[in-house]
Structure 1
Amino acid sequence: MKKLFLSLALLAFVALPNAVAQKGYAKVTVAFYNLENLFDTEDGPNNDAEYLPDGANHWTLEKYHNKLHNMAKVISQIGGDGPAVIGVSEVENRKVLEDLVKEPALQRLGYSIVHYESPDFRGIDCALLYRPEIFKLTASSAHPVNIPGEPYIKTRDVVVAFGYIDNEPFSFLVGHWPSRAGGEAVSLNRRMAAAETMRAQADSILRLEPKSKIIMMGDFNDDPTSPSVVKGLRLKKGPKGLGANEFYTPMRKLYRDGIGTLAYRDVWNLFDIMCVNGNLIGKDHNSFKVYKDPKTGYYAYVFNKPFLRQQSGRYKGYPHRTMVGGEYQNGYSDHFPVYMYLVKELK
């Protein structure tokens, strides 16, 4: 048995129901987390004025290190012992990611980084953190989102990472689609452009490697039932009969059940979305498939432990943020992370 598979076997007994663990399944956790303005304190070439020591948020080294500590605390607990692969957004540069993975809570996991500088005006990027003993990266790339009729709007690239988990081809696509600034309807075409860019990259991968297991994820700034997600990504409504070149999002059921990842004016949204193709769906676990909880029917989950939530006041239950209205809160993010389990029967 290979060293890689031994490490996967050890993960099989963490945070999965006993019935699954007793049958001997390897488990790989995949997650996504919007880190909400993970900026350092140095003046960079981007629009980072708010996050400088003399800026509006009075962003000091102490606050920066607290933010790193808090983000590492969250990531280290997702899926029970930290995800094998996690997409992230709202990071300023590669340096903040290098500082993050050096945090004591994460250093033991040995994350490697896939990151590209994006053309976003504020300089916030998407990236992928992965454990190289589990996910064997072979290629990565970044793809710009060009918005028809609005070439002056520069948004985050779609980051793509291709590789293998136990000799099975996997591709992870990470995005942070344009916001709803100006109104949901007015800005919809921008998110449609991001969705179509992401789906085009997924289709390109499948043409080259039809057996690839693909997970598209990110902060889409729209809900699982929004036109940009459903039509832009060309999603099916459910997993039944899903073909290798077809996708669906397990977040749809969560959203319909009233579960969200961020709140605004007492309305919960689920902008943090993961989508999978048909190669990851099925009852045959001779290869990796997304785990379905037999009790809830969920294929994915929101990580919303009590320490991540406001415990009192008007915003009780909301995500506990780092900054609110310019006031430092020493919290985490305005989004909750999302995650899923990939499981494979051990032979």
Structure 2
Amino acid sequence: MKILVLIVLSISILFGDKTLKIATYNVENLFDLNKGDYRYEEYKPNGKSLWNKKNYKIKLQNLSHVIKDIDADVIALQEIGSLQALKDLRFALKQKGLYYKYYDIADKKTTAIKVAILSKVPFVYSKELSVTKGYKYRNILEVKLKIDSKDLYIFVNHWKSKAGPESMRIISAKALIKRVKEIGYDKNIILLGDFNSDYEEYILFKRKRKHNDTSGKTGINHVLKTLKQTQSADKVKYTKNSFYNLWYDTKTENRYSYIYRGEKEALDNILISQSLLNKKDISYKNNSIKNFNKSYLFKKKNIYRWQTTNGRIRKHKGKGYSDHLAVIAKFVVR
């Protein structure tokens, strides 16, 4: 019997489960110092706004400090200005001892800010998913990973802000779900990023009539079909062709990644396909969803965002991080 126990323990050590940490982080306007590309006025380099080498370096150091502390295996990023900015962030991380060998950015469309990804896990492929041909909508980044012969699809999103009505976010949601149907709902799929939508957007936006131009329909709840699974992960029941929003697997008071006028909001989300709930192959680790809410990321009761002055010309102060908190979840690879 003792010999059998030793054999079982040895097998567990050699062939035990692996944990995969996946995160998403809106870094708030990381622009490089190159001239000529489309960008916001206050990020034109070496001008009156003081977006210069000094402040750019501080921004890179501050963001890399956060990402180093998160230490995810895969991290999705939003509001990256260019491939150069992504490479500079990656280099800053490498200097801190965190090396992401694999990376990509959705930069085929000339939008001011783009989505990107950093990964310790190699890509089978990475490609852009076009939402529309116009420039109102940012492309979605699709990445396929293979982990111990198991496929995992990740889609990095940054949907239209609340400056636009819900119909604009539905357009992104429909493009996303069309691609999901091509892959198959039964596959291991993670949808994550800044959706500019709460996990219960269909309830919240009823109070904001300027957003509800869709007769109550929302992209995150109705198009991605997250309405029927609102329990914690250990209680949720399988619902065909639906996605489970991981925010339901933590306490209500912890479900936020953004603070607007004192109100906590969950604009950043991680949604998973049903196969990631079945405890086979790759699966979500229960109770692992959280926002990255270290004390240094707050100033009083607000998130310590990147600081600029007010006024006609906003000047960079060289302080702060991002106006969003990162969101993290863990997955078990069996």
Return the TM-score normalized by structure 1: 0.78
The 8 Å contact of residues 244 and 279 in structure 1, kept in 2 or not, is answered as: no
Bigger Rg, structure 1 or 2: 2
Whole-Å Cα distance in 1 between the matches of residues 251 and 245 of structure 2?
11
Aligned residues between the structures = 294
Give the corresponding residue for 2:214: none
1:275: which partner in 2? 271
CA shift, 1:143, in A, is 1.6
- Structure 2 distance, partners of 1:27, 1:111, is 19
Matched, 1:94 2:69: no
Give the Cα separation in 2 of the matches to 1:158 and 1:56.
Answer: 33
SS in 2 for 1:336: coil
The answer to whether the 8 Å contact 2:159/2:196 transfers is: yes
| Cα drift, residue 318 of structure 1 | 1.5
The within-5 A match list for 1:1-347 is 25-55=17-47, 57-78=49-70, 82-103=71-92, 104=94, 107-119=97-109, 121=111, 123-131=112-120, 135-146=121-132, 154-181=136-163, 187-206=165-184, 210=186, 212-226=187-201, 227-235=218-226, 236-238=228-230, 240-242=236-238, 245-252=241-248, 254=250, 256-257=252-253, 259-282=255-278, 284=279, 287-293=281-287, 299-310=288-299, 316-324=300-308, 325=310, 326=314, 327-328=316-317, 330-345=319-334
Q: Residues of 2 paired with 1:230 and 1:181: CA distance?
A: 19
Provide the TM-score with structure 2 as the length reference: 0.81
Specify whether residues 255 and 141 from structure 1 end up closer, same or farther in structure 2 by C-alpha distance, changes over 3 A only.
farther
Is the Cα–Cα contact under 8 Å of residues 244 and 277 in structure 1 kept in the other structure?
A: no
The separation in 2 between residues aligned to 1:118 and 1:267, in whole angstroms, is 35
* Residue identity opposite 2:101 in structure 1: Y
Q: What is the identity, as a one-letter code, of the residue corresponding to 1:319?
A: I
Q: Which residue number in structure 2 is paired with residue 7 of structure 1?
A: none
Q: Percent identity?
A: 26
Q: What is the one-letter code of the residue matched to 2:285?
A: Y
Determine if contact 1:255/1:270 at 8 Å carries over to the other structure.
no
Aligned to 1:313: none
Counterparts in 2 of 1:329 and 1:64: CA distance versus 1, 3 Å:
closer
Mapped to 1, the partners of 2:148 and 2:138 lie a distance apart of 31
Please report how far the alpha carbon of residue 181 of structure 1 lies from its aligned counterpart in structure 2 after TM superposition. Answer: 1.0
For 1:196, what is the secondary structure of its paired residue? helix
Once the two structures are superposed, residues 35-91 of structure 1 have per-residue CA deviations (whole angstroms, 9 ceiling, x without a partner) of: 10001122132134321344453101111111111111111111xxx1111110100
For residue 124 of structure 2, give the secondary structure of its aligned residue in structure 1.
strand
Matched residue type, 1:137: F
Q: Which 4+ stretches in 1 moved above 6 angstroms?
A: none
Quote the Cα distance in structure 1 between the aligned partners of 2:113 and 2:274: 32
What's the counterpart of residue 16 of structure 1? none
How many Å separate the matches in 1 of 2:35 and 2:237?
A: 51
SS in structure 1 opposite 2:182?
Answer: helix
Q: 1:106 to 1:173 in 2, by over 3 A?
A: farther
Alpha-carbon distance between aligned partners in 1 of 2:79 and 2:101, rounded to the nearest angstrom = 18
CA–CA distance in 2 between the matches of 1:84 and 1:258? 23
Q: Offset of 1:255 from its aligned partner?
A: 7.6
Q: Distance in 1 between matches of 2:135 and 2:122?
A: 35
What letter corresponds to residue 282 of structure 2 in structure 1?
A: F
Show structure 2 runs of 5+ residues with no match. 1-12, 202-217
RMSD: 2.4
Unaligned ranges ≥5, structure 1:
1-20, 294-298, 311-315
In the TM superposition, residue 198 of structure 1 has moved relative to its aligned partner by: 1.5
